[in-house]
Chain A
Amino acid sequence: MPRYELSLILKAMQRPETAAALRRTMETLLQRGAVVRDLENLGERRLPYKMSKHNLRHSRGGYFLVDFYSSPSMVTDLLDHLGRDVDIVRTTVLKKEEQPQSVSYCCSPPSPNSDSISPSQS
């Protein structure tokens, strides 16, 4: 099963309400046969730009990251379901790569000429 990463932005709420919203999200995931691996809290911070969702303008939000394994067919359904939840501001599901990126040596970079006017290199 491919590994996905769900980046969740919840409305800025009190602790019990955030917990309830997270619980709901987890239950939807588990209902659809996903195997949740990790749930990270990236903290509550100010959003980079104001987001409108469900007739509300949000300027602060709680960032959460859910690591899970699931079948690909379940993902669109999940996003549809989460879109209807009032407490959730933004959701994005990304596929996570299993293999670490191979670090290959890059070619030498263009020489930085801060003083002379160098032609822009493509």
Chain B
Amino acid sequence: MLAFRNCRTVLQTLSQGIRRQVTEQASRSLSVVPDEAHKDMPIKMENPYKQPQKGCILCSNNIEVDYKNIQLLSQFISPHTGRIYGRHITGLCGRRQKEISKAIKKAHSMGFMSVTLKDPQFMKDPNICDIKHLE
């Protein structure tokens, strides 16, 4: 019996010793030895493949929206009906889309731009909107 109790205490102390050794080892590995221990750990850096954030055409080229510039405004209307294209077609951001829309309506009311059609001299302009017209 005594032997058994001794055995148990010996086992306990042994296990404690082992636990202590293990924790010591663990702390040593995570402690301050950066070069050796962290050689194959990933280095913290921001994504090198990150592309620069693209804005809409007007923002990226710093174009000012003016109601007098009917050529610019005509690029955002339909050539058949003269309707203003939506955001999913023009690809403009919220602010610019609103500015263009307001400028077009201003131009309509002030007698600069036609409402139901696109001025024929601007028909040959390059298409910046995401829409395919039947030729």
Interface residues of A, Cβ cutoff 8 Å to B: 7, 9, 42, 47-49, 51, 61, 63, 65, 89-90, 92, 94, 101, 103-110, 112, 114, 118, 120-122
The smallest C-beta distance from B99 to any residue of chain A, in angstroms, reads: 9
Q: Are A9's CB and B111's CB within 8 A? A: yes
Other-chain residue from A42, A61, A65, A92 in contact with B109 (beta carbon distance below 8 A): A92
| Secondary structure type dominating chain B contacts | loop
Kindly name the residue among B87, B110, B119 whose own CB sees the greatest number of chain A CB atoms within 10 A.
Answer: B110
**B96 within 8 A of partner (CB):** yes
Q: Are A106's CB and B111's CB within 8 A? A: no
CA distance in complex: A63, B86 (Å): 30
The smallest C-beta distance from B94 to any residue of chain A, in angstroms, reads: 7
How does the 8 Å CB contact mask read for B42-67 relative to A, with 1 for contact and 0 for none? 00000000000111100100101000
Knowing A103-B62, A120-B86, A121-B87 touch, does A109 contact B54 (C-beta < 8 A)? Answer: yes
Other-chain residue from B56, B64, B106 in contact with A106 (beta carbon distance below 8 A): B56
Q: Are B111's CB and A120's CB within 8 A? A: no
Q: Are A120's CB and B59's CB within 8 A? A: no
The residue of chain A having its C-beta at the shortest distance from the C-beta of B132 within the complex is: A114
Chain A residues near B64 (CB-CB < 8 A): 101
Interface residue range, chain B: 20 to 34
CA distance in complex: A9, B110 (Å): 9
Q: Are B91's CB and A109's CB within 8 A? A: yes
The smallest C-beta distance from A71 to any residue of chain B, in angstroms, reads: 23
The residue of chain B having its C-beta at the shortest distance from the C-beta of A40 within the complex is: B68
How does the 8 Å CB contact mask read for B77-102 relative to A, with 1 for contact and 0 for none? 00000000011100111111000000
Chain B residues near A104 (CB-CB < 8 A): 95
Knowing A48-B111, A48-B112, A106-B93 touch, does A112 contact B130 (C-beta < 8 A)? Answer: yes
